[in-house]
């Protein structure tokens, strides 16, 4: 089989296609994002708070967007580094989201190529294989979905920036300027660094939505491969990888799972930032309920659906492998029923016992899912860990009234 991937998951998606055309590796992309985006935004944010931010008194400012507030009135000022959902995430999380997401998309075609090479005897140029690759390409690179993702990205960001510009209780490095003041109340508007951050946010949301769509198509494609297309699939129940030779599916799915873990930590920081640091409501930012709900629903689905695609085939392969052993056990048992308990009978009992033990050991050893207990532990950890700070923040707000609303 050719080393060239049989299709691309981003041939009609402009951003990732442009990145791939440079020949950059996923690690190189993560480093490039950190240097060109994370550091530039963080340095700019630090300089803005040091030199351009209004004078604060115990975190309170009386000048917003160049306009002085009424005597005796002030609002809370949130600096760049205090705004942890931005500063911590852009430095420590999003370089990994970008790098892992790029690697994930590169590995999807290689996964299907591997499955055809190792799990079937179908020729790579067979009409049914080419038709399947065309089907995958059509769904991974659907123009209608691309337009929907762009529209959803712009709509979510429009609502988000409208909400933060209407906020009355605090201002900060992003909203203490004059850009888009027509959207705001009073003198609020975006700063120049706020516009830069807005562009970064738009691109990142677009990136993540594309990853989620491709995760869904991967799950769908695996179900087609194993259950719908009738390919002659041959599995090895005792394969050295301990997953019937399908460990590569788990490896690819784990790339998206790690990406979602980083996003889950981001959602956690976002909620803590909004409730604890800014003293606002969870619902004051559309991103909080939208991302939290999406994370809780999509993270389990995008983990289990791709892995569940091979379950039926692995179950059938296991039963087929164990059938001769079971038949031999039945034959020995029938022979025992006709024997006396002499030396010959005792030998037959030992043979039956040993064969039964082998069958039971194989039944436990042969997997029917392309993941193991450690993979499941890792998944549960990636789901639970990011949610714990959110739960604690909501409980704190509920019982101690952290919100200033």
Looking at the structure, tell me whether residues 127 and 140 fall in a common domain: yes
Q: In whole angstroms, what separates CA 259 from the centre of its chain?
A: 4
| 89 domain residue, yes or no | yes
Looking at the structure, tell me whether residues 393 and 341 fall in a common domain: no
Looking at the structure, tell me whether residues 87 and 217 fall in a common domain: yes
Q: How confident is the model at residue 145 (pLDDT cuts 50, 70, 90)?
A: very high
Q: How confident is the model at residue 1 (pLDDT cuts 50, 70, 90)?
A: very low
Task: Read off the pLDDT of residues 156-171 as tens digits, 9 standing for 90 and up.
Answer: 999 888 888 887 777 8
Looking at the structure, tell me whether residues 56 and 35 fall in a common domain: yes
Looking at the structure, tell me whether residues 260 and 331 fall in a common domain: no
pLDDT over 70 at 397, yes or no: no
- Determine the pLDDT at residue 64: 72
Note down the domain range covering 338: 319-365
Q: What is the mean pLDDT of residues 316-339?
A: 82
Q: How many residues does the chain have?
A: 405
Looking at the structure, tell me whether residues 360 and 220 fall in a common domain: no
Q: What is the mean pLDDT of residues 7-32?
A: 95
Looking at the structure, tell me whether residues 304 and 328 fall in a common domain: no
Q: Is 117 left (phi over 0), alpha (psi -120 to 50) or beta?
A: alpha
Q: Please count the structural domains in the chain.
A: 2
Which of 76-90, 128-142, 158-172, 176-190 is predicted with the least confidence, judged by mean pLDDT? 176-190
| 383 domain residue, yes or no | yes
| 336 domain residue, yes or no | yes
| 2 domain residue, yes or no | no
Instruction: For residues 390 and 232, give the distance between their C-alpha atoms in angstroms, rounded to a whole number.
Output: 47
Looking at the structure, tell me whether residues 48 and 193 fall in a common domain: yes
8 Å CB contact between 69 and 75 = yes
| 43 domain residue, yes or no | yes
**341: three-class secondary structure by DSSP:** coil
More confident of the two residues 77 and 405: 77
Looking at the structure, tell me whether residues 357 and 233 fall in a common domain: no
| 4 domain residue, yes or no | no
pLDDT over 70 at 278, yes or no: no
Please state the three-class secondary structure of 24-67 as a single string.
Answer: CCHHHHHHHHHHHHHHHHHHHHHHHHHHHCCCCECCEECEECCE
pLDDT over 60 at 134, yes or no: yes
Q: How confident is the model at residue 277 (pLDDT cuts 50, 70, 90)?
A: low
List the Cα angle 88/36/287 in 5-degree steps: 45
pLDDT over 50 at 11, yes or no: yes
Looking at the structure, tell me whether residues 127 and 153 fall in a common domain: yes
Looking at the structure, tell me whether residues 263 and 384 fall in a common domain: yes
Looking at the structure, tell me whether residues 303 and 162 fall in a common domain: yes
- Determine the pLDDT at residue 2: 41
| 288 domain residue, yes or no | yes
| 389 domain residue, yes or no | yes
Query: Which position has the token pair 């619902």?
Result: 283
């Amino acid at each position: 089989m050719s080393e060239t991937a049989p299709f691309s998951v981003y041939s009609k998606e402009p951003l990732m296609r442009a990145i791939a055309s440079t020949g950059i590796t996923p690690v190189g992309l993560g480093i490039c994002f950190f240097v060109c985006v994370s550091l530039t935004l963080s340095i700019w944010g630090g300089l803005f708070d040091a030199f351009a931010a209004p004078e604060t008194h115990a975190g309170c400012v009386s000048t917003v967007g160049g306009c002085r507030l009424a005597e005796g009135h002030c609002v809370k000022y949130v600096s760049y580094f205090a705004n942890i959902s931005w500063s911590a995430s852009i430095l420590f999380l999003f370089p990994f989201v970008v790098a892992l997401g790029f690697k994930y998309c590169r590995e999807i075609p290689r996964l299907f190529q591997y499955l055809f090479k190792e799990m079937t005897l179908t020729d790579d140029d067979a009409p049914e294989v080419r038709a399947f690759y065309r089907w995958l390409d059509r769904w991974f690179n659907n123009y209608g979905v691309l337009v929907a993702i762009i529209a959803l990205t712009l709509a979510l960001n429009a609502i988000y920036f409208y909400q933060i510009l209407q906020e009355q209780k605090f201002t900060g490095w992003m909203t203490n300027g004059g850009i888009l003041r027509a959207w705001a109340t009073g003198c609020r508007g975006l700063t120049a660094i706020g516009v830069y951050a807005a562009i970064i946010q738009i691109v990142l949301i677009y990136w993540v939505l594309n990853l989620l769509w491709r995760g869904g198509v991967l799950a769908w494609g695996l179900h087609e491969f194993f259950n719908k297309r009738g390919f002659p699939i041959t599995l090895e129940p005792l394969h050295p990888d301990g997953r019937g030779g399908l460990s590569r599916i788990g490896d690819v799915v784990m790339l998206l799972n790690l990406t979602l873990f980083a996003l889950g930590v981001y959602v956690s920081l976002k909620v803590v930032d909004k409730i604890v640091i800014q003293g606002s409501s969870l619902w004051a930012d559309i991103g909080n309920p939208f991302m939290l709900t999406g994370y809780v629903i999509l993270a389990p689905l995008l983990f289990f659906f791709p892995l569940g695609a091979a379950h039926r085939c692995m179950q059938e392969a296991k039963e087929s492998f164990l059938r001769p052993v079971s038949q031999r056990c039945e034959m020995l048992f029938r022979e025992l029923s006709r024997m006396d308990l002499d030396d010959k009978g005792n030998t037959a009992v030992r043979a039956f016992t040993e064969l039964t033990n082998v069958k039971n050991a194989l039944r436990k050893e042969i997997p029917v899912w392309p993941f193991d207990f450690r993979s499941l532990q890792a998944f549960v950890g990636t789901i639970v860990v990011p949610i714990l700070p959110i739960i604690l923040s909501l409980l704190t707000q509920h019982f101690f009234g952290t919100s200033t609303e």
